Every structure is written in C-alpha cells, then in structure tokens.
Amino acid sequence: MFALNQWYVAGFGWEFESSPLVARTLLNKPIVLFRTPDGAVAALEDRCCHRSLPLSCGTVEERGLRCGYHGLLFSASGACLEIPGQEKIPSKCKVQSYQIVEKNQILWIWFGDEEHPTALQDPPEYPWHSDARYEFRGDIYHYDAPYQLIHDNLLDLSHLGYVHLRTIGGDPSTHMEADMKVHSAGDSVRVVRHMRNSKPPATYAEAWPFAGNIDRWQEIEFDVTHLRIWTGAVDANTESLDDPNRNGFHMRGLHGVTPETENTSHYFWTMATNLPPSGVSNMTKVFEQTALTFEEDKVVIEAQYQNLQRFGTNPQVDIHVDVGANRARRIIASLTNKQNASATTLA
C-alpha cells in the first residue's frame, strides 16, 4: 500500500516544547517520538515488550523512555536498560527503533523494506525554514481520507477558483485556463502554472501592496512523501515569471503527506513568506489565511472520500487539470508494484 525506502515526515521539532512524548501511527505502525536529553529525537515502536502498554504512556528520563506500567527503561535504540527489581535483562527484551532525523525543524523518519532497514540517502533539504528572507509557521491536520487524495488536491490547483473564494482563489476561469506545464523525472513530478494579468485574491491583496493586477505563479514539486509548492505574484508586466530571483510576494509551502493507515492520513504543513516592502511582518495574516485554505481542502477531500466509498468503483472522467496528479499516482503504483513483486519472489 505504501512506498518504502523513503523518508516520511513524522512531525516537527517544536512539538516537544509542549509535550515530551508524541504518539502517532505512521504507515500503519504505532510509534512514539521523544527528545533525548542531548537534544536528539528518538522513535520507538509504541508498545512495551513486557505487557504491551503503549510506551507513550510512560515518561522520558535521562537515559531513555520508561514504561508507565512496570518501569522497564528503554534507550533510544530500543534496548532495555533496566527492569526494576530484576538484575538480568533477557536478550529479547527490546523494542523496535526507527531511524529519525531532525532537519530544518522537520522530523524525517525512514521506512525501509527488509533489505534496507537503514536509510539509502540523507533526508530531503528544506532551506526555507532557515532562510533569513522568510518567516514561517506550520500546523498538523488529520484526514479521514487516503493520502493520495491529498496529493491529487495539491497537484491540481485549478480548484482554487471554486473551493477557496475567501482566500487564495476566486475568478474560476483564471485558474481553469492557466498556462500549465507538467514535467516528470524519476520519482518526481513538477507542475508550473502561470496566471498573468489577473486580479489579486484576498490573501495576496491583504499581505502585499500590489498596484493593480498581478502576474501570478504556482510551482508544484511532488516527491513520493512530500510536496513543495512555491506560489506568489508580482505586479503585472513588471518581471519575468521564469526568473528564479523574481521579487514580489512569495509563499513557500511544505506539505508532508504521511499515511496513517490505508484510509487515514497526517498532513504536516508549513508556510514561509517574505516581508512586504514596509518591513512589517505579514506572517500572522498569511498563516491564518493558509490555515483557512487547508481547512477548506480538508472538508472537500473528506467529503470526496465518503462519496467514493458510497459509490464504489463507478468510473470517473479525467480532464486537462489531472495530468500532474495522474503521473504522481503512476509513480506510487510503480513503486508499490515492484515491492509486492519482490516480496512475492522472496516468499
């Protein structure tokens, strides 16, 4: 069901500021995350090997995580360090650990197959969280819907004209008729959309002092476990939308879409934006508008999934805006089909 040998987003580093433990199910695996005294982050199976109490019911100590039932103490590697009242520790007394890395305040967790329990490459870079030109904030949503429906939504921004009338949308014809180019390379898909000489949507007009109409861009980069979306605008006819160093209003979004189960998902997102010419931060406004936008998406996607369950395998019709989403689905299908074939061969 899920592509393995990948780094998935498991959360954000700032979550430990409010709680020493974070419990999540990721790719059908119950996992507890915690920060060790030296500042590193650890990830263990959320189950004590003694009587199966979730380790997330325990406490973080200097040497590791102590179970809240009988006090067994586990290190960040999953080894049992102590059994209160018992000197000998059985060799089987351990829990599974997962490779996890904190990078740019993002927690990346490795899910590999049996042949690749440790990572084949470093976690992805996301420099915008530490770029002095940007401020950013983020949040986490839970979806009662499969993760690929979220991919579909993010790879097809034509829906903005209908779903997000109060924020980044409006003027449906502009969005449906945008100049669009789709490129594929390896396991990634890139969708570039341009909407020239268009009216600024509410979020843009409130965050940036545009003189009138704008030239607007949407650049979507899909990888198997996350998407990076760069959107923004400049005053119409002032700069090339192909210039990587163009000015104007910028919104750089991280979208970590991590399956919880086959039918539910975690959506880890941040939005980074640049200061307007006044130098007065617009971060709060951009964050609030972005959160409202994603809440609107959540309503639509969950309603879509409910209807998919209701109508079953009734055929669907593709239209021109579905190119990017369809390519992403083919990539994941290819990866999971190879995994299934390999597993069958080994069996």
Cα–Cα distance, 26 to 267 (Å, whole number): 11
Shared domain for 235 and 139, answered yes or no, is yes
CATH of the domain at 23: 2.102.10.10
- Identify whether 123 is part of a domain: no
Digit-coded pLDDT (tens) for 214-236:
999 999 999 999 999 999 999 99
- Identify whether 285 is part of a domain: yes
Shared domain for 244 and 314, answered yes or no, is yes
State the DSSP code for 79: B
Which residue range is the domain that position 330 belongs to? 131-335
pLDDT-based confidence at 345, cuts 50/70/90?
low
Shared domain for 101 and 201, answered yes or no, is no
pLDDT-based confidence at 28, cuts 50/70/90?
very high
Q: Does 343 have pLDDT greater than 80?
A: no
Digit-coded pLDDT (tens) for 325-338:
999 999 999 999 99
Q: Give the pLDDT score at 255.
A: 98
- Identify whether 117 is part of a domain: no
- Which SS3 state, helix, strand or coil, does residue 153 take? helix
pLDDT-based confidence at 346, cuts 50/70/90?
low
Cα–Cα distance, 294 to 74 (Å, whole number): 38
What number of other Cβ atoms are within 10 A of residue 76's Cβ? Answer: 19
Last residue of a domain, one of 44, 79, 111: 111
Q: Give the pLDDT score at 174.
A: 85
pLDDT-based confidence at 68, cuts 50/70/90?
very high
Q: Give the pLDDT score at 170.
A: 73
Shared domain for 82 and 187, answered yes or no, is no
pLDDT-based confidence at 171, cuts 50/70/90?
confident
What is the average pLDDT across 193-201?
95
Last residue of a domain, one of 111, 144, 177: 111
- Identify whether 33 is part of a domain: yes
- Identify whether 103 is part of a domain: yes
- Identify whether 142 is part of a domain: yes
Extract the tokens encoding 313.
């395998």
Shared domain for 101 and 192, answered yes or no, is no
What is the average pLDDT across 151-163?
94
pLDDT-based confidence at 342, cuts 50/70/90?
confident
- Identify whether 340 is part of a domain: no
Q: Give the pLDDT score at 33.
A: 98
What is the average pLDDT across 28-39?
95
State the DSSP code for 243: -
Shared domain for 151 and 256, answered yes or no, is yes
Shared domain for 240 and 192, answered yes or no, is yes
Cα–Cα distance, 290 to 284 (Å, whole number): 10
State the DSSP code for 83: B
Last residue of a domain, one of 64, 83, 111: 111
Q: Are 299 and 286 in contact (CB under 8 A)?
A: no
Shared domain for 237 and 327, answered yes or no, is yes
Q: Does 347 have pLDDT greater than 80?
A: no
What number of other Cβ atoms are within 10 A of residue 108's Cβ? Answer: 25
Q: Give the pLDDT score at 206.
A: 94
Shared domain for 146 and 93, answered yes or no, is no
- Identify whether 122 is part of a domain: no
Looking at every residue in the chain, the average pLDDT score rounds to 95
Shared domain for 259 and 325, answered yes or no, is yes
Shared domain for 179 and 53, answered yes or no, is no
Rounded to whole angstroms, what are the CA distances from 346 to 110, 334, 337, 343?
22, 18, 14, 5
Q: Give the pLDDT score at 175.
A: 87
Residue type, 315: P
Shared domain for 199 and 75, answered yes or no, is no
What is the average pLDDT across 70-83?
98
Give the count of domains, the chain: 2
What is the average pLDDT across 172-186?
92
Strand 179-185 versus strand 41-45 pairing type? unpaired
What is the average pLDDT across 155-172?
88
CATH of the domain at 168: 3.90.380.10
- The helix (run of H) or strand (run of E) holding residue 138 is strand 134-143
3-state helix, strand, coil in the chain (%, to 5): 25, 35, 40
